[in-house]
Amino acid sequence: MLNVKEQIAELLAEKIEGLEADEIGKLIEIPSDSSMGDYAFPCFKLAKLLRKAPNMIAADIAKEIEYDPMFETVRPVNAYVNMFMKKTNMAEITIGAIVSKGEKYGSMDQGKGETVLVEYSSPNIAKPFHIGHIRTTVIGNALANIYEFLGYKVLRLNHLGDYGTQFGKMIVAFRHWGKKEDVEADPIKTLLSYYVKFHEEAENAPELEEEARKAFYALEHGEKDELELWQWIRDESLKEFNRVYDMLGIHFDSYAGESFYSDKMPAVIEELKEKGLLKESRGAQIVDLEEYDMPPAIITKSDGTSIYLTRDIAAALYRKKTYDFDKSIYVVASQQDLHFKQLFKVIELMGYPWAKDMIHVNFGMVSLADGTLSTRHGRVVFLEDVLNKAVEKTKEIILEKGVNTDQLDETSKIVGIGAVVFRELSAGRIKDYVFDWDKVLNFDGETGPYVQYTHARAASVLRNGEFDPESLDPSSIDYSYISGEAASELVKELYVFPEAVAKAAEDNEPSTVTRCITDVAQSFNKFYHDEHIIVDNEDERKAKLALTYAAKQVIANGLGLLGMVAPDKM
Ligand code: ARG
């Protein structure tokens, strides 16, 4: 069953010669001002095709479709055809589509045959996996889910920061002061303390720096001892990262990080040289980007060691060759805007037209309002601690509310972690924001717990009404019972869900989905308060339970895309 926009597009395709339904679908808009209709079709593009003024085309189209039962009114306004949908009809189309598509409602096959890479999280090994990493991790996961939902083949990449001169320091520090058992008991915190100690000691013993350089050189040249030690540090770090990924329900297809690309750099340097792009500058090799108003891209440093950017060039070439991507997304903080601009420019200058398919999805910073979680005094806020605290706090709230739950631990986990995830995906990603427990865990605001609670409430209504979706035939429903204000508003939120998903992918902005399901939750709660759902009249009850079911399904689909669980009980 088609969703509303698809149905309008089909209808228009019958009337407009030379344009297919899917092209028309892409043109149809949802006006931000609802007095301009539920949907609007702009006719500018048709002017050339039909050799007529756009406002005349709009008038003609409006006349052609105005009696279709889908519409309440159709009005041409300038170059637009504004369409106001018939409420009961909208309910019928929407609920029909949701019942037949179920957990696939909102999905599309627009991405069929195309591959999208989503690189996200990418923490540095032996360094804290801290609150600053939450955004890339959660936004990247949501984007990967959304692209998959739209039919793309998606690969989830974790570009681990597992390479660089700091590992020379780590190796030296471990050799001097390290204990294997300590690292294994608490890898990152212990490794971090060695790193800090290294810097303290090196102030009075500069020879340590030289030792570290040697250790890194040995590592880079594949010396057995150094390599083994580094591998072990990587494994121990990954164990800890994976604990957090498990809590978040996140997985990756590849953990090929910076080290993986280190042996692919000489070829990059060679290619840059061949293409005449390399320049010598104070002992370093650079690509001059002055013409593009950017500082030079440094390819090798004066001591001959390679750097971050060079590994990213190698990674881009490798990924194109290996995955032949149609789109390659990097979910990385906006602090690295310049880095990615340089990277994409260098790839373009190398003559690769697919440079345009690389996208930096950036985001603003998180800071913490709660003093107990401050990063002052060098204290780092570990992401795992934040998640655990969210679960603890949620448990307290649930107990305080006296909610009767037989699965307190499980529910606290789902809701607590969900709350943090939801908060990350609530505001536009580019905004900086302050992490504030009261805003994260509020059960009444526009929060994760609120939306999850609404899902559980809908599930409970369906249980009480003994609703069986399997035996529901949408064509047997009397939709005149779904025409009250709250119900109609809810229907509208439900039918725009597929658009919200498509828009989220178009803008690489998962918060579009978050906002849509928050609206669904609010509309459902209004409907729940304004109307009796489980009434004696069988037809009315059936219609209202079907709407409840549709709302629950859309919330579940949306939460799933965000990477959250939709609980049936809370
Ligand atoms: N490891 C880096 C950091 O923590 C992020 C890596 C981003 N990805 C990339 N391809 N450069 O800052």
Whether 161 is in the pocket of ligand 1, judged by its Cβ within 6 Å, is yes
Q: Ligand 1 atom closest to Cα of 124?
A: 1
Q: What was the pLDDT predicted at 304?
A: 64
Average of per-residue pLDDT values in the chain: 92
- Ligand 1 close to Cβ of residue 158 (< 6 A): no
Given 5, 86, 87, 130, which residue is catalytic? 130
Q: pTM, whole model, 2 decimals?
A: 0.91
**Ligand 1 pocket: which of 259, 332, 335, 380 to mutate (most atoms <8 Å of CB)?**
332
Taking residue 370's Cβ as centre, other Cβ atoms within 10 Å add up to 13
Q: Whose CA is nearest to atom 6 of ligand 1?
A: 122
Closest ligand 1 atom number to CA of residue 339: 11
Closest CA to 254 of 203, 328, 191: 328
Distance 249 CA to ligand 1 centre (A): 21
Helices 187-204 and 207-220, axial angle in degrees (round to 10): 130
Question: Is the CB of 124 within 6 Å of ligand 1?
Answer: yes
Does residue 159's CB lie within 6 angstroms of at least one atom of ligand 1?
yes
Residue 332 CA to ligand 1 center (angstroms) comes to: 7
The rounded radius of gyration (Å) of the Cα atoms in the chain is 28
- Summarize the confidence of residues 19-30 as an average pLDDT: 90
208 pLDDT more than 80: yes
Sorting pLDDT into bands at 50, 70 and 90, what band is 373?
very low
Buried b (16+ CB within 10 A) or exposed e, 19-32: bebeebbebbbbee
| Residue 521 and residue 450 in contact, taking contact as beta carbons nearer than 8 Å | yes
- For atom 1 of ligand 1, the residue with the nearest CA is 161
Q: Which residue's C-alpha comes closest to atom 11 of ligand 1?
A: 312
H or E element at residue 161: none
Greater pLDDT, 64 or 3: 64
The percent of residues above 90 in pLDDT, for the chain, comes to: 74
The finding on whether 162 has its CB within 6 A of some atom of ligand 1 is: no
Candidates 15, 101, 127, 153; catalytic one? 127
CA of 358 to the centre of ligand 1 (A): 15
Q: Residue holding tokens 């949620």?
A: 394
- The count of other CB atoms within 10 Å of the CB of residue 367 is 15
Ligand 1 geometric centre to CA of 122 (Å): 6
Give me the pLDDT at residue 368, please. 74
In this predicted model, what pLDDT tens digit does every residue of 425-455 receive, in sequence order?
Answer: 998 999 888 888 888 888 788 999 999 999 9
Confidence of residue 379 (pLDDT cuts 50, 70, 90): low
**pLDDT band per the 50, 70, 90 thresholds, residue 370:** low
Contact by Cβ (8 Å): 556, 494: no
Amino acid at 527: F
CA separation for the pair 241, 231 (Å, rounded): 15
* Both structure tokens of 315: 């990674």
Could you tell me if the CB of 332 is within 6 A of ligand 1?
yes
d(CA 312, ligand 1 centre) in Å:
9
Alpha carbon of 368 to ligand 1 centroid (Å): 22
Give, for ligand 1, the residue of 122, 329, 363 to mutate: max count of ligand atoms closer than 8 Å to Cβ: 122
* d(C-alpha 198, C-alpha 215), whole Å: 14
Q: Is 330 in the pocket of ligand 1 (CB under 6 A)?
A: yes
If you average pLDDT over each of 23-32, 124-133, 338-347, 480-489, which comes out highest?
338-347
Atom index in ligand 1 nearest the CA of residue 133 equals 4
Instruction: Report the b/e string of 176-215 with b at 16+ CB within 10 A.
Output: eebeeeebeeebbebbbbbbeebeeebeeeeebbebbbeb
| H or E, element range at 239 | helix 224-248
Is-contact 122 161, C-beta < 8 A? yes
The percent of residues in the chain predicted with pLDDT above 70, rounded, is 97
Residue burial 316-327, b: 16+ Cβ < 10 Å; e: rest: bbbbbeebebeb
DSSP string for residues in 103-117: GGTT---TTTT-EEE
**328 touches ligand 1 (CB under 6 Å):** no
Give residue 377's pLDDT: 45
CA 309 to centroid of ligand 1, rounded, Å: 10
Q: Decide: 565 in ligand 1 pocket, CB within 6 A.
A: no
Cβ 122 under 6 angstroms from ligand 1: yes
Mean pLDDT of 105-114: 93
The per-residue pLDDT for 369 is 72
Catalytic residue check, 133 = yes
Q: Is the dihedral of CA 428, 431, 435, 439 positive or negative?
A: negative
What's the 320 CA to ligand 1 centre distance in angstroms? Answer: 18
**pLDDT of the residue at 127:** 84
Mutation test of ligand 1: which of 155, 166, 264, 336 has the most ligand atoms closer than 8 Å to its C-beta? 336
Query: Does the beta carbon of 311 sit less than 6 angstroms from any atom of ligand 1?
Result: no
**Does residue 301 carry a pLDDT above 90?**
no
> Rounded to the nearest whole angstrom, what is the distance from the C-alpha of residue 536 to the centroid of ligand 1?
60
Ligand 1 mean position to 123 CA, how many Å?
A: 7
State pLDDT tens for residues 228-274: 999 999 999 999 999 999 999 999 999 999 999 988 999 999 999 99
Q: Is the Cβ atom of 126 under 6 angstroms away from ligand 1?
A: no
pLDDT 10s digits, 147-206: 999 999 999 999 999 998 889 999 999 999 999 999 999 888 898 889 889 999 999 999
> Highest mean pLDDT: which of 219-223, 281-285, 533-537?
533-537
Q: Is the CB of 312 under 6 A from ligand 1?
A: yes
Q: Is 339 one of the catalytic residues?
A: no
Closest-CA residue, ligand 1 atom 5, reads 122
